[in-house]
Structure 1
């Protein structure tokens, strides 16, 4: 559902405006709203507290979510602005439309509280009409504020056990106006919701649209009304128009709009029709444009997933609303770049974890052709009381109503890891089952056309339509070669199976000559479920998550094995790797980047890791080839030792060149692990190497190149820390720290911690949650990078690692 609202009078005007600029922010509470809206003279030294200027969207936790030295802020914060309100409609309504704000919100016009909302992820609106009218009648205030209307908004993400999601969740409960906020003008009677059910005929060649509407008429206006429906094909050509005249009624239903020569929606061809709905009354006209799509979806009982009558293997990933430098406050451009990067990896399915996400994301899924599982944030902790349950019901209702029309959505998720206790003294499985049944019935009542699902709550798996158990072969349990066996066993236990969440952590830039060395004590478990304590880096059974090296090398092998096996599982509906992008979390302070879940195939700033290209080699058709190791500048081993060079490619054949000499051609075979047979064993001597691959798919040719150094000198333990500048551009200096032993040999397998500091005219570009954007981070192959923004005066950077002497660099 991509809905654009345009309400027009005889003089057409833009009636929906994003409020991005001229905001001020305060990261603390106030004594009362008066402190936010009282007039303040510029330069007055008694103006306390001190506000900062920000633009929206804005997240309270843009930086502190990944601060290695303190917990992220959970508490109240304030925003304020002054609006020019000029509603063009006689008796029109003026709304503030929130696309999402976290987690509890209060809205004030001057000192009048006009709205409150609980829940950080669903959309809602504050009608400020009466409050604005009352303010504008007070001449002294109008004069004092120069005709502008003071607006203050309080957001609060304080811990609260009677809210969802739980603070035990493996993600931050962010605060702030972190999605877009809009000023909307409507006539006195306008469209609140348009529900369009696009039905595809059995022949797949014809279809129909059933439409019902809900009006927004807070003043209970009576009189005549005219409703118009117009259906446009994907090229914008009108197919049909229906017009109804009558009296104003809260709900309208329309007869079917028929469509012949149907263009079906699919990941390969996401055809979108446009439904234009207009209501006209004496107060003006209001129009909504809704994107819809026609497709048939079926989960075969004990079988695969069908789209439009044909098997489609769901090739999925996950998304959290999180990004370097801004946390949840991603702009539309950032979201678009992220989703396009997913599509270019070959993704045709996404689970939006673990909450309703921005309308922009759903619109992008519609237009890019990415199927969606979207869920409410009933996540971990158990089950609360009536307030808690009411929020869950409300958020499920809002999610379904607000995203009902999106053709990309195929599943409504009711919960995640609801078998995880901790928030309440009581953990009653039967009460959780009863509430899950209630949510399941509510979902089917609101939308009978879509399936329901949950992940990892075995005692509720019989309630929902589709179930995903916990399967983490090769990471939290067992070894990755067990993947097919344990998946088939779980598949046979339910009618409709979909495997979401698999993969493993990798520290970007860390590579290994022997990624399996530390896993010798890990045995096949015959099961691969994540259990209590498995995410901890200490204690418990031997497992890759604790005992592995967290290298990109290991993750590529794990992913490679999973993807090759999926090609031989004809019964499989599909899977979703967890997650696409590294994201911040309060429950992982000890990870190589503190407070980061590092299971992404891209970093938190969208920098691609090596595993991204493994997926691309299996999931895409556009010719590609990628030599493993673009972020691995120095390999190591003995003189004349045989080393493997891998190429991930979807091409039929590939030829490798090392220092200009061909090492021969290999044919791709997806079942030849690793790298689908595109691997060459090369005898390496000390020195520099240039490696190039030339790959062919049909008549098309693609190439890739890397350079690396091969080190044969052996090292002992780190004895010295070296800090040097490796790049400077546009006032940004990039530094590299390197660990050396007592003879000056690079310690290429070192994973020690390093802390960067700075004194003088400059600032560290840190608190980004990336391997090269953190002031406290683990080394990757004995090195670590950091950038600084340098001023005009002197600046000195320092680095320390354990008990080694500090290193300084005077810039």
Structure 2
């Protein structure tokens, strides 16, 4: 069953993840002026579902030892029970404070805790934070330590109408899910405890190919009891460590005084400009020096990238004076089996995968993420936008507004020094969950309040950082956002567009872009989301919208890439998403996972990833497609020992030569980065080899595909029948990777062969979502697509197998009734057809008998009453075929229409 299988998989993933755990160590600058002491290991953790415990008064909490990063939602978001734990979790840990730290600046540094946090020392509250995606510090000032001190941290991810996000198509994992450190610094130090930064802010000004200015300012604190005369010195080094320039000033800090400072600008002649092709980083070493003793008291090292950029409504994006199309993806931070508690090394790997794909743009969505991500973007040359999590809707309260503003400033301050960031954003699809639709005056007031909040965030952002652009991302209701005045507010408008997925046709995407540009001609445009679900287990030779097949995803992305690249007014585009991510409320073919990623949740590339790599990576590239489709199947034509099926080779070369089982199929030209081959597959293992030449260099890729060739007529002597797995009412193949089995779509019966007799494919009524089947979460299985299609009202199923002993497994699930959705939880385009309400139809009661070779094997089967809606049911039987009539399944209605979802037949003698 799904739960036990998933648990084993996730435990293995977590065991591997533990290899990334970083044990306690001090990290400091070379002069040991400040230390960040790792506190990640050996926390005690307990849930507090009754919300009864207080620091030091724990009641009956059950404690376990965990390491940070940690989330309590790594597993419950993937089980069959609706919902996941949203409440309080407690963490506690003993700390040992050294005597020499008595006069030091001490602070706890939390990189991320979702979403309300309170911190206690020896039972006394010493700090708190609101918001789940930005860092915060808790000073340990004027506190008495007793040698057995205990830190306790209360984290709460329960719904709170004052904290964004309120709702979203992703999971709000709870916990101390990023690293925790103890900062030890001198009593005189750079400081910005309010926004959890190091207190030094650097940006470039007046940048050109011939020169640039480096501007350095910040905050410092003199926590001593005496006045201090201080020299502030910043040294700019090139990438090789060579000194470029030094700037300094002298300040006098009174006792117990915090003050701001600004250093004279550093002038850089003929700078090495930062770009995706050459992400050149200077380094600024900014120090506090005691003017009396000459001792360096504190030092902060900052990477500096010099670049200039602009956006234009007609010509798009320009970097360092050259037109650049921003191409990349959005990113969520969770990982298979880990939730959002992901080690930095894996997060950096995401950026490396984006770079390898040929991407130059990352939309950090829908919230600020680990600093390691942006450090990697700086180092690898990935331009970024970062946003706060105002998603779908707002709360019209002062508290909500205040928290959003604070999140925005925290985001900007904490990420200010990253040269990769070019955009700050603050709202995503904020009209999607529209309120007060039945009260137009109240709805208008709500829209005005959204616009007021947007304008306040816009003004705050520009005042805090005038060096970067601002952006909002909207879903496809162009008229709605225009009427609400929201397209006028940001400097850039992002559009999340899904023509060909949530409705319409993929070919509508380009013309729709043209309409948007005509309607809003004065605003630069970025396509901040577009995508189609790709379940790597599903394949279709006649792909259609919402079949979740890899083949439909390839067609979709090919069309979108062409439309984006051919329109100069489109500044850039971010595919949704870099990888699959958890969304607990989703059902679909892989429940609780949004499958629009170019990578899987475990970061395995899909064909769509390779398509982008062929389009945008400038290095020679060749890849046999369908890398996950290593098990295929099909029905052999009469008297044939092979079956021809499509295979794609993805490449940026001019042509490809393909070899199948040692025989050349010739050479084909590559068109739009693809060459399509009709490959004759034999039963068993097929060795595939692709070869191409690129500027005199030979490229080669290989794969092995196990093909299960089924007889069209069982009397074909060259194909001995062994087993078959059939999905009824389906038009797609499904791979069960755990059992290494292929499931084929059914067919109508013809004499000598196999197939259904009567019946129609199940389809949800009044749904524009998919042409057949459901995507309801089927409980009790991981192979949901096996049960999400069925034939309704069938009379029988016939397999004209030869004489012998067989195992027959019937698979059922009731797909109609309460709980079956006919509309998407997230309808992202009001311009396309969509149902307005869920299908609440309760079907006529369904009771039927099943006969196997005229023997009654199931009597009065009532799936809904016996097993409930959307539960997997398996019935296994054995039978002996002693005549020429094969296997005959007969369905007799007692009441309503019989159904069958899937069928397995295996010869066992």
TM range (shorter): 0.7 to 0.9
Q: Secondary structure at the match of 1:414?
A: strand
- What is aligned with 1:539? none
Q: Which residues of 2 match residues 224-243 of structure 1 at below 5 A?
A: 224-243=229-248
Q: 2:487, 2:493 within 8 Å by CA — same for their partners in 1?
A: yes
Q: 2:527, 2:573 within 8 Å by CA — same for their partners in 1?
A: yes
Cα deviation 1:748-804 (Å, max 9, x = unaligned): xx999xxxxxxxxxxxxxxxxxx9x99534247999xxxxxxxxxxxxxx9976433
Q: Secondary structure at the match of 1:130?
A: coil
CA RMSD of aligned residues (A): 3.4
Q: Which residues of 2 match residues 458-537 of structure 1 at below 5 A?
A: 458=482, 459=484, 460-492=486-518, 493-494=520-521, 495-516=523-544
Q: Secondary structure at the match of 1:711?
A: strand
Q: 2:535, 2:548 within 8 Å by CA — same for their partners in 1?
A: yes
The change in CA–CA distance for 1:109 and 1:375 in structure 2 (over 3 A counts) is same
- What is aligned with 1:552? 550
- What is aligned with 2:567? 569
Q: Distance in 1 between matches of 2:83 and 2:283?
A: 46
Q: How far is 1:569 from its partner?
A: 2.6
Per mean C-alpha deviation after superposition, the further-off stretch among 221-230 and 186-195 is 221-230
Q: How far is 1:551 from its partner?
A: 0.6
Q: Secondary structure at the match of 1:399?
A: helix
- What is aligned with 2:624? 627
Of 275, 282, 285, which aligns to 2:284? 275
Q: Secondary structure at the match of 1:381?
A: coil
- What is aligned with 1:650? 652
Q: 1:593, 1:774 within 8 Å by CA — same for their partners in 2?
A: no
Q: How far is 1:683 from its partner?
A: 5.2
Q: Distance in 2 between matches of 1:775 and 1:14?
A: 53
Q: How far is 1:223 from its partner?
A: 2.3
- What is aligned with 1:195? 201
Q: How far is 1:507 from its partner?
A: 1.2
- What is aligned with 1:730? none
Q: Which residues of 2 match residues 413-492 of structure 1 at below 5 A?
A: 413-421=425-433, 427=443, 428-456=446-474, 457-458=481-482, 459=484, 460-492=486-518
Gapped regions of structure 2 (runs ≥ 5): 1-24, 192-198, 475-480, 713-723, 729-734, 763-776, 790-808, 814-872, 878-903, 905-909
Cα deviation 1:555-601 (Å, max 9, x = unaligned): 0111122223333333331111001111111331x211211111111
Q: 2:104, 2:184 within 8 Å by CA — same for their partners in 1?
A: yes
Q: Secondary structure at the match of 1:343?
A: helix
Q: How far is 1:435 from its partner?
A: 1.4
The change in CA–CA distance for 1:449 and 1:661 in structure 2 (over 3 A counts) is same
Structure with the bigger RCO (C-alpha within 8 Å, sep 6+) is 1
Q: Which residues of 2 match residues 276-355 of structure 1 at below 5 A?
A: 276-281=285-290, 285-355=297-367
Q: Does 1:20 align with 2:30?
A: no
Q: Does 1:263 align with 2:272?
A: yes
Q: Distance in 1 between matches of 2:104 and 2:220?
A: 14
The change in CA–CA distance for 1:491 and 1:710 in structure 2 (over 3 A counts) is farther
Q: 2:392, 2:431 within 8 Å by CA — same for their partners in 1?
A: yes
Q: How far is 1:63 from its partner?
A: 1.3
Highest Rg: 1 or 2? 2
Q: How far is 1:706 from its partner?
A: 2.6
Gapped regions of structure 1 (runs ≥ 5): 38-46, 137-146, 517-543, 720-725, 728-732, 753-770, 784-797
Q: How far is 1:514 from its partner?
A: 1.4
Q: Distance in 1 between matches of 2:413 and 2:607?
A: 39
- What is aligned with 1:43? none
Q: How far is 1:682 from its partner?
A: 4.1
Q: How far is 1:500 from its partner?
A: 1.1
Q: How many residues align?
A: 700
- What is aligned with 1:176? 175
Q: Which residues of 2 match residues 760-799 of structure 1 at below 5 A?
A: 776-779=782-785
Q: How far is 1:710 from its partner?
A: 5.7
Q: How far is 1:684 from its partner?
A: 5.5
The change in CA–CA distance for 1:78 and 1:666 in structure 2 (over 3 A counts) is same
Cα deviation 1:124-150 (Å, max 9, x = unaligned): 10012333xx232xxxxxxxxxx3321
Q: 1:369, 1:408 within 8 Å by CA — same for their partners in 2?
A: yes
Q: Distance in 2 between matches of 1:328 and 1:87?
A: 36
The change in CA–CA distance for 1:262 and 1:161 in structure 2 (over 3 A counts) is same
Of 87, 90, 98, which aligns to 1:86? 98
Per mean C-alpha deviation after superposition, the further-off stretch among 590-599 and 105-114 is 590-599
TM-score (structure 1 length as normaliser):
0.80
- What is aligned with 1:524? none
Of 237, 245, 252, which aligns to 1:247? 252
Q: How far is 1:407 from its partner?
A: 0.7
Q: Does 1:213 align with 2:218?
A: yes
TM-score (structure 2 length as normaliser):
0.72
Q: How far is 1:658 from its partner?
A: 1.9
Q: Distance in 2 between matches of 1:221 and 1:327?
A: 49
